Homo-oligomer: A and B are copies of this chain.
């Protein structure tokens, strides 16, 4: 029995963020499926793991956590000597990486999630029509963020600094969805962003998480 348990579904961007971290670290874990399509994450049995009714929840022995970005930070620090190092040992370098972790959370993700919901979740998963007025509102906001990224990536190979860290990893799940939508062009039209996206999405640990996601979609359709 694995000491590490992730409660969620691999198609959740927040859960995939945690799975990507576990795969980068090469850690064993058990993924306890929470069926978001039937709303299992809003039921009493799950609410005890996360009072906000969101996936993922996480256990490592007697430690129980939720909030994906707190979980990835814990894994990165607790298992610092395993697999890929996802933080800098130099505190000033890590302060800069932390800055870009905040940028992902407060600038990239809110806009990316709005676009993802309209361009992927509604048409592909829920069978609803995309609201193009929402896309028209959020695309320019998202482009402004990507313009900042294009500039940042002229100074360093990765967002957080000269190596791949959580500051990059946190972007993976949402970027992967958007690459399957019309928003792909927003990445492609910015050379440094495009190279960064190619680089981070082709990491072997991430391709494993994408496989888990594809499997989760297939089994949810069979049910």
Q: Please state if A67 and B99 are interface contacts (CB–CB under 8 Å).
A: yes
Q: Please state if B102 and A70 are interface contacts (CB–CB under 8 Å).
A: yes
9-residue interface stretch from A73-81, A132-140, A177-185, A197-205: A73-81
Q: Please state if B67 and A95 are interface contacts (CB–CB under 8 Å).
A: no
Q: Please state if A101 and B63 are interface contacts (CB–CB under 8 Å).
A: no
Task: Return the contact of A91 from the options B70, B74, B107 (Cβ within 8 A).
Answer: B74
How many residues of A are counted as interface, with CB atoms below 8 angstroms from the partner's CB atoms? 26
> What CA separation (Å) do A107 and B99 show in the bound complex?
20
Q: Please state if A99 and B78 are interface contacts (CB–CB under 8 Å).
A: no
Q: Please state if A91 and B106 are interface contacts (CB–CB under 8 Å).
A: no
Q: Please state if A105 and B105 are interface contacts (CB–CB under 8 Å).
A: yes
Cβ of A103 within 8 Å of any chain B Cβ, yes or no, is yes
Task: Return the contact of A74 from the options B98, B105, B151 (Cβ within 8 A).
Answer: B98
| A residues whose Cβ falls under 8 Å from a Cβ of B | 51-52, 63, 65-67, 69-70, 73-74, 77-78, 91-92, 95-96, 98-99, 101-103, 105-107, 148, 151
